[in-house]
Every structure is written in C-alpha cells, then in structure tokens.
Amino acid sequence: FWTGIGGLAGGAAYKAANTADSMIGHRTPKYEAFGRAAALFDDRINLPASRLTGLLIVLAAILVKGADPRNAWQVMRRDARKHRSPNAGWPEAAMAGALGL
C-alpha cells in the first residue's frame, strides 16, 4: 500500500516502522517506552490498508457465487472493532461475513 502511495521511499519507511514494531514492539519492561511507540505507530500506518482490504473483500463478494456482500459489509461494520488488533478485524470480519460464518 505505502509503496504504491510513496514509491520506494514510502515502502522503505513502512518496512522500517513495521520492523521496529516486530523487534521492539513487545510489552516487556525492557522495551516498554520505545516498544509501545513503535507498536502504536505501526497500528496507525496500517489503518488505511486494513480498511481498504476489508472494503475490497466486500466488493469481491459481489463477484463470487455464494458469497454475501451485504452480510460482509454488515459484519465488518459490526465486528471489526471487537478484534484485539485495531487492523486485523477489518478484513477478518469482512471475510467472515462474506462466507456467512
């Protein structure tokens, strides 16, 4: 997503933030101050892509026989924020709704 928006520099900046979250974004006393900042920043930069992915799943459900795009939209809107991750819930809820789970 960020490579498409910002080219190579955007992709590299995203990867750096994502790697920082992976390496120090854990909730341990050693990394609490820096790790929390890295994790929150990573959450924020993934907001647009996660929501776009959820929307694309809803739109894809229109093209798939047996999928339910209306339910995908409703479940995504209802359940996405219930996920522990601020980003993972959007595509997961949309897919669950599309599949009728």
pLDDT digits (tens, 9 = 90+) for 61-73: 999 999 999 999 9
The structural domains of the chain, with segments of one domain joined by +, span 1-45, 46-101
With left for phi above 0 and alpha for psi between -120 and 50, is residue 89 left, alpha or beta?
alpha
Looking up tokens 């996920």, which residue turns up?
83
- Can you tell me the mean pLDDT for 32-50? 87
pLDDT per residue over 42-98, tens digit each?
999 999 999 999 999 999 999 999 999 999 999 999 999 999 888 999 999 999 999
Q: What is the pTM of this model?
A: 0.79
Question: Has residue 26 got a pLDDT over 80?
Answer: no
Res. 30 pLDDT band, cuts 50 70 90: confident
